[in-house]
Amino acid sequence: MTFVDGVRRIAVHSGSVTSVLRPMDFTASEAPLSATTPQSGFSYRSAGVDIDAGEALVERIKPLAQRTLRPEVLGGIGGFAALVEIGKRYREPVLVSGTDGVGTKLRLAFELNRHDGVGIDLVAMSVNDILVQGAEPLFFLDYFACGRLDVEQAAQVIAGIAQGCEESGCALIGGETAEMPDSYPAGEYDLAGFAVGVVEKSALVNGTNICVGDRVIGVSSSGAHSNGFSLIRKIVSHSGADLGAPFPGGAFGEASLADVLMTPTRLYVKPVLALRQKITLKGMAHITGGGLLDNVPRVLPAGLAACLQRDQWPRLPLFSWLQQEGGVAEEEMLRVFNCGIGLTLIVSPEDEATALRHFADLGWAAWGIGEIVHQPVDRPATWVE
């Protein structure tokens, strides 16, 4: 039996957050009840669901959500849903959606009791995905599920979500907090995020005009982002490394191994949207699970391939350490990790210098890492040499 009495954390009225908690949207599963009925009768709290904790969380996150709102956000009638208008600046608007989670990076968050960064990861994984279609993110919703709601922990996670939304120009318009007794171990939770953006139909980035001779630009990652953490955790455990000690070899100064691993995923939205005002981006790929080898081909027309040059970008010390400690083959590294490239752009040769200068002006590293060629019969759609 399942109770559906949950919390809708963010309801919007006339562009302002007015009611983040509603007594009809708090999802909770039924906890085992005592065989003996208490004298005062059972309550939701005795079943393991604390509505007061939900209300406390709401008060903590109201101002965080408020800072992310965009002019397109309208009032939700009755507060059961949030409303967003597309606006009149688009003639043929196309909505672009994406959803993702954080994966087993959460296991490290639990172990280290660090929860703010994974909220940024959650936003980045979805908004970066819709960005590569050319879309500007409009709004974001999250799902936070736990066995017992820890207000401080949840507030840290949602603060990170709000920060990621703010840095991406994306409104945090809604979310679900699901307290489900006996479904998660104490102190643990799971996350899912959902992003929707909009792009003019004629401005979609879909790779159809990519041609031989175009250049592939790699934009630097901030680290491992949110992919490959099952392997990362295996390697860390095998190596016996101390997560709290400075990163081996001191390549990151005083930063610990934990600091390096928990660095949030880079948000590419605003820099890339600004670059689109300067040049034509023919194709983009967000380098997530599958690495360069599996993600770049997703934007290439049939018959074309990307030949990437390994010596054209430096490998972050994190990836060198993981490869050495885990004895990971090079091909496996390129299929699991981003290896220092979090986003690839495909541009005409004459636009390459402008793109590289654009990121340099922002203090971000970017490199010309390869070119588009006819796909040889004995080669995959992307390879690194």
Burial of 139 (0-12, 13-18, 19+ CB in 10 A): buried
Q: Measuring CA to CA, which residue among 75, 83, 85 is closest to residue 19?
A: 75
70 secondary structure, DSSP code = -
Start-end of CATH 3.30.1330.10 domains in the chain: 2-203
- CA atoms of 280 and 155, how far apart (whole Å): 40
Strands (E), the chain: 2-4, 7-8, 11-13, 16-19, 27-29, 73-74, 83-84, 93-100, 136-146, 171-179, 189-200, 215-220, 283-286, 304-308, 341-347, 366-374, 382-384
Whether 268 and 131 have beta carbons less than 8 Å apart is answered as yes
Question: What pLDDT is attached to residue 19?
Answer: 33
CA distance from start to end of the chain? 56
For tokens 């636009």, the residue is 351
pLDDT digits (tens, 9 = 90+) for 231-279: 999 999 999 999 999 999 889 999 999 999 999 999 999 999 999 999 9
Q: Are strands 366-374 and 11-13 parallel, antiparallel or unpaired?
A: unpaired
358 phi/psi in degrees, rounded to 5:
-60, -45
CA atoms within 13 A on the CB side of 132: 25
Question: What pLDDT is attached to residue 35?
Answer: 52
Start-end of CATH 3.90.650.10 domains in the chain: 215-384
- CA atoms of 260 and 220, how far apart (whole Å): 15
CA angle, 353 as apex, 351 and 356 as ends, to 5°?
Answer: 110
Burial of 265 (0-12, 13-18, 19+ CB in 10 A): buried
- CA atoms of 125 and 103, how far apart (whole Å): 11
Question: What pLDDT is attached to residue 31?
Answer: 45
- The stretches in the chain having pLDDT less than 50 are 1-26, 28-34, 76-78
65 phi/psi in degrees, rounded to 5:
-65, -40
> Domain spanning 2-203 has what CATH number?
3.30.1330.10
- 215-384: which CATH number, 3.30.300.30, 3.40.50.300, 3.40.50.2300, 3.90.650.10? 3.90.650.10
> CA dist 310 to 218, 329, 383, Å?
11, 15, 10
Q: Measuring CA to CA, which residue among 223, 246, 221, 237 is closest to residue 111?
A: 237
Question: What pLDDT is attached to residue 180?
Answer: 94
For tokens 């996350």, the residue is 191
Question: What pLDDT is attached to residue 377?
Answer: 96
